[in-house]
Amino acid sequence: MSSSNQPTAAHLASVDHIRNNPKFAELVRKRNAFAWTLSAAMLIIYFGFILIIAFNKAWLGTLLSEGGVTTIGFPIGVGVILSAIALTGVYVYRANGEFDDMNRQIIEESR
C-alpha cells in the first residue's frame, strides 16, 4: 500500500482475482459450514446442560457413590468445559491443515 494507506491498483486487482477464484469461494463455504457445525454442537451441549439444570436439578444432585460428596452434575459440567476445548482443538487442527493449504494455493495462484 502507498504511504497514504490507499490500496494500489495492483492490490485491488489481486483482491479481485482472489475473490473471483472458485477455490476461494470453496474455502469460505467449507470454513463457514464447519464453524457453524461446531458452534451448533457447542450450543446443543451447553443448552442441554442448562435444560437439565432447569428441569431435572435433583438428578444432577445425585451422588456418584454412597457416602461420597461428588454429584453427577460435576463430571457433566466438566464435560461441557472439556467439549468446548475439544471442539476448539478440532477447529484449529482443520484450520491449520486443510484451510491453510487451500489458502496457500489461492495466494500462489493470485501471484
The answer to whether residue 13 sits within a structural domain is no
Mark residue 5 as left, alpha or beta (left: phi above 0; alpha: psi -120 to 50; beta: remaining).
Answer: left
> What would the pLDDT profile of 10-37 be if each residue is shown by its tens digit?
666 677 878 888 899 999 999 999 999 9
The answer to whether residue 28 sits within a structural domain is yes
The answer to whether residue 73 sits within a structural domain is yes
Helix crossing, 100-110 with 9-19: angle to 10°?
A: 130
The answer to whether residue 69 sits within a structural domain is yes
The answer to whether residue 6 sits within a structural domain is no
> What would the pLDDT profile of 65-102 be if each residue is shown by its tens digit?
999 999 999 999 999 999 999 999 999 999 999 999 99
Confidence of residue 4 (pLDDT cuts 50, 70, 90): low
pTM of the model: 0.76
Q: What's the number of domains the chain is made of? A: 1
The answer to whether residue 102 sits within a structural domain is yes
What range does the domain containing 96 cover? 19-110
Cα three-residue angle 65-68-72, rounded to 5 degrees: 60
